Amino acid sequence: MCTRFVFNGVDTITGFNFDIDLSVWTHTVVTEKNRFYIGIKMPDNKYHSFHGVNKNGNVGTLLYVHGNENAAYRKDENCYTISALTENFIKGEVSFEEALNIVQEREIIYAPDASMQAMLSDKNGRVLIIEPGIGYKYEQKEFSLITNYSVLSPETTKPYIVSGDTRYEAAKELLEAYDKKFSVSDACKVLKSVCQKGLWATRVSFVYSALQNKVYYVLNNDFDNISEFQL
């Protein structure tokens, strides 16, 4: 369970809540010279960057979604997994333009072990929402928002909405009320308002300011203690 948004105002600001079951996944925050990311430990025993920010302004995040058979993993040279695309984008190996070309020319599928959708964005506030098996959406508007349900074909994931899960509606209402002066502090308030508790609690929250080229991040919903990382 996760929440991700991009707000285009005086600054282009991204916010992300990383919600995860600790009994299933091992994670850590990684800060490198050109990259900030939430590392997810995979079977190769390495921490992969499926949620993070590159110094060039690329921000990529994967969000769990109930799968559809059209995007099932298979070995096909015309296919590109959503996890590989997102990680390559965060690494800076794929530009926004290249990512757009990839979703236009190749079939985007799930990784072998999980069904995920993605939001990719750049420092100019361009956003690419990718839902394997459904399609993609390119936009550059006041704000973009996604959680763990389809925004391109809502009826496909509507049956799987968790009772009481109003993260999308709550965040949307808050974002609609802000003006062009939307700040890092405002982004933190939005993330705090939709953070989760319990088994799938929010473990890491981060906000990225394109103007400052800086990441602000919080561990375990402790918004009184915000760390900073200059890219």
pLDDT of residue 93: 97
- Facing residues of 13 across strands? 7, 209
| Confidence at 114, pLDDT banded by 50, 70, 90 | confident
Mean pLDDT along residues 122-144: 97
Q: Which amino acid is at 97?
A: E
Question: pLDDT by residue (tens digit) across 24-57?
Answer: 889 999 999 999 999 999 989 999 999 999 999 9
Does the pLDDT at position 21 exceed 90?
no
Question: pLDDT by residue (tens digit) across 52-105?
Answer: 999 999 999 999 999 888 999 998 889 999 999 999 999 999 999 999 999 999
N- to C-terminal Cα separation, the chain: 27
For residue 212, which of 14, 18, 6, 28 has the smallest C-alpha distance? 14
β strands within 122-166, DSSP E = 127-131, 135-139, 143-146
| Confidence at 158, pLDDT banded by 50, 70, 90 | confident
Question: pLDDT by residue (tens digit) across 164-210?
Answer: 889 999 999 999 999 999 999 999 999 999 999 988 899 999 999 99
Q: What is the reported pTM?
A: 0.95
CA separation, residue 57 to residues 69, 211, 212 (Å): 33, 10, 10
